[in-house]
Structure 1
Amino acid sequence: MHDKPWKPQPEILFEHVTRRRSINGDHVSVIVTNYNYEQYVVACLDSIAAQTHGPLSLVVIDDNSRRDDSVTTIMDWMASNKQRFVSTRLLRNVINQGPSASRNTAIEFCPSDTLFIMDADNMIMPSAIAKLHACMTRSGAQVVYSQLVEFGTRNQVGVADLWDVERMYKNNYVDIMAMIEKSAWSRVGGFSHIEEGWEDYDFWLKFIDHGIDVVFLPEILCQYRVHEVSRTATEAFKSHYDLEIIMRYRHPKAPRPLPTQA
C-alpha cells in the first residue's frame, strides 16, 4: 500500500463550533477557496449566510494570499457571523498550492457528508443550497448542479444543461459550483492538479469514468463573476491544445476528438 504524497498541513486560523441538538442528513458544508479576492469575498460569504437552508457549515481556505488582506477580512466576517453556522473554519495554505489542492484540503476538513463548492469571487442565490439539497434527496444522485448567471465584465445566462456524457466529452458546460456527496469526491480521488487549468473539466470527466450519477436542476441558483483575472479567460485559453492532449491521455475512453472547454 503506497503512502499518500506529502503535502504541508494548512494553518487553522479560525475555528468555531456552535452546539446544536439536531443536524441529521440535512447538514451541508460550503467550501470556499480564496486567493487575493479580498474585494469579493465578503459578498460571497454574505450570500452563504443568507441561505434559506438551515444546518450549514462553512470551510474557507485561503491559498496563501499575498497581494491583499483577505485573511483578516475573512476572520473578521467569521467572528461576526459564526452563530449562523453549525461550524466555521478558516484554513490557510502555508505555501500557494492552486485550486485543486486547496479544495481537497478544505473538503478533508468538511464536517458533513454533503458539500457545496465555490470560489470566493462568486455568489449564490438565497435558495440555492435548499433547492440543490432537495433535488439530491429526491433523485438519489451524488452530484447536483444548476444553471448560473454570469455578471461583471460579461452579463448573460450560463451554458449549463442536462448531464450528457457524449456532450461532456466534447466540452465542459458544468461549473464547479455544485452539490456533491463527499463519498463521490473520495471515490474519484478528489481534484487533480493540472498546470494552466481545466481541473474542473478533469474532475467531471472522472465522474463519468466512475459511472457516478449527476443531475441538472434547471434553475438559476449561482452567480459567476467574470473579471480580468478569471482563469477561464487566461491560462486555459492560452494552453488549449496542450490541455486537449492531457484530457485525452487522462480519460482514454473519451471519443475523439475532444476539442474544447467552455
Structure 2
Amino acid sequence: MSITAPWMATGQTAFTFRSRRKKPADLVSICVTNFNYGRYIPEALDSIAAQTHMALDLVVVDDHSDKDDSVALITAWMEENRERFWRCTLIVHPRNQGPSEARNTAFKHAVGAFVFVMDADNTIYPRAIARLHEAARDGGFDATYSQLEYFGKEQRIGSADIWDPAQMARENYVDVMALIRRQAWTDVDGYSHIDQGWEDYDFWLKFIDHGFEAAYVPEILCRYRMHGNSRTTNDAWAAHESLRAIMAFRHPELSARYQLLPDVKA
C-alpha cells in the first residue's frame, strides 16, 4: 500500500462493539460511507441488519458531516442494533476527504475476507450479501456485483452485465456496490482520489490492470437512490470527456490494448 500522507487522517473511532464469539469463517465486512446523509442512513443500516447472511462486520465511515446530526444518528442506531453484528464500528474523519479516502478508511478497518461497499443513501435487499458471497466463494472470484434498481426521483433497472474487460474499457457499468476480496483492494492500492469523480470506474480498471476477475450475479440485489444531489449527477457528467481522458492516462496499457479509451499523451 502507498504511504498515507499526513493530511489524510485515518479517522477517530466514535463507536465500536465486538462480540465475544469466535470470528466466523464466513464473516463479511460491510463498509458504508456517509457525508451529510443523516436523512437516509437509517434506512441503509436497516437494510444491512435485515441481511440473511448472519456473519457481518459493519464499518461506517462518516466523512466529517457538518450539516446534519449523522454521527449521533449512527451512534444511536449502533447502540440499538449492535447485537445483530459480530462487530460494528463508526469511524469519523476529522476533516472531509472525499469518497475514495472514506472507502479506503473503511477497508483499513474491515476484518472480513470480503468487503461489500455502499454509500449511505442506498439500500440492499435481504439476500444481497448471501448471494454475492456465495458466488464469490464458489467461483473463486475477486469481486461480485449484481443488477441495480434505481429508486427515488427515478425508477428503472440498471445496466449491469457480465464482466467483460473490453466493454468496461468503453464504459463503466459496474456500480461501487459490490463485494470485493479485501486482498484484491490491497493489491490495487485501494481507491484513488479523482477531483471530478469516477473513482469507482478507475478502481475497476485497476482491477483489470491486475488481471483480477469479477462476476455478475444476474439478480436485482442493490438499490441506488436517485435524488439529484449525488456527486455523479453534479460533477462527473459535466466533466465526462475530461474524465475519459484521465482514465486513458491512468490506464495506458488497457487503452492501447482495446483502442477504445481516448489516446492521451503525457
TM over 0.5: yes
1:67-86 aligned within 5 A: 67-86=67-86
Gaps of 5+ in 1: none
Amino acid at match of 1:188: V
Amino acid at match of 2:18: V
Q: Distance in 2 between matches of 1:31 and 1:4?
A: 20
Question: Using a 3 Å threshold, how does the CA distance of structure 1 residues 4 and 42 change in structure 2: closer, same or farther?
Answer: closer
Q: Distance in 2 between matches of 1:235 and 1:40?
A: 21
* Structure 1 residue 96 corresponds to structure 2 residue 96: yes
Q: Paired residue for 1:32?
A: 32
Q: Distance in 1 between matches of 2:3 and 2:30?
A: 29
Instruction: Name whichever of 74-83 and 109-118 sits farther off.
Output: 109-118
1:132-171 aligned within 5 A: 132-171=132-171
Question: Using a 3 Å threshold, how does the CA distance of structure 1 residues 4 and 76 change in structure 2: closer, same or farther?
Answer: closer
Deviation at 1:230, TM superposition (A): 1.5
Q: Distance in 2 between matches of 1:144 and 1:35?
A: 25
Which of 244, 261, 264 is the equivalent residue of 1:258?
261
Q: Paired residue for 2:190?
A: 190
* Structure 1 residue 15 corresponds to structure 2 residue 16: yes
Q: Paired residue for 1:114?
A: 114
Deviation at 1:258, TM superposition (A): 2.3
Q: Paired residue for 1:105?
A: 105
Q: Deviations along 1:51-75, whole A, 9 cap, x unmatched?
A: 0001101000000001111110000
Question: Using a 3 Å threshold, how does the CA distance of structure 1 residues 131 and 225 change in structure 2: closer, same or farther?
Answer: same
Question: Using a 3 Å threshold, how does the CA distance of structure 1 residues 2 and 53 change in structure 2: closer, same or farther?
Answer: closer
Gaps of 5+ in 2: none
Q: Distance in 1 between matches of 2:3 and 2:148?
A: 39
Q: Distance in 1 between matches of 2:2 and 2:41?
A: 38
- The alignment covers a number of residue pairs equal to 258
Amino acid at match of 2:261: L
Deviation at 1:5, TM superposition (A): 2.6
Question: Using a 3 Å threshold, how does the CA distance of structure 1 residues 2 and 108 change in structure 2: closer, same or farther?
Answer: closer
Amino acid at match of 1:155: Q
Q: Deviations along 1:221-257, whole A, 9 cap, x unmatched?
A: 0000011111221100111121111101000122334
- Where does structure 1 differ by over 6 angstroms across 4 or more consecutive aligned residues? none
Q: Paired residue for 2:220?
A: 220
Q: Deviations along 1:174-204, whole A, 9 cap, x unmatched?
A: 0010001100000000000000100000000
Q: Distance in 2 between matches of 1:90 and 1:158?
A: 30
Q: CA RMSD in A?
A: 1.4
Q: Distance in 1 between matches of 2:169 and 2:53?
A: 34
Q: Distance in 2 between matches of 1:3 and 1:87?
A: 27
Overall identity of the aligned pairs, in %: 48
Q: Secondary structure at the match of 2:224?
A: strand
TM-score by length of 2: 0.94
Deviation at 1:20, TM superposition (A): 1.2
Q: Paired residue for 2:211?
A: 211
Q: Distance in 1 between matches of 2:2 and 2:48?
A: 38
8 Å CA contact 2:2–2:189 kept in 1: the answer is no
Q: Distance in 2 between matches of 1:11 and 1:59?
A: 13
Q: Distance in 2 between matches of 1:163 and 1:177?
A: 15
Amino acid at match of 2:16: E
Deviation at 1:2, TM superposition (A): 7.8
Question: Using a 3 Å threshold, how does the CA distance of structure 1 residues 3 and 194 change in structure 2: closer, same or farther?
Answer: closer
Amino acid at match of 1:137: R
Q: Paired residue for 1:60?
A: 60
Deviation at 1:162, TM superposition (A): 0.3
Instruction: Name whichever of 247-256 and 165-174 sits farther off.
Output: 247-256
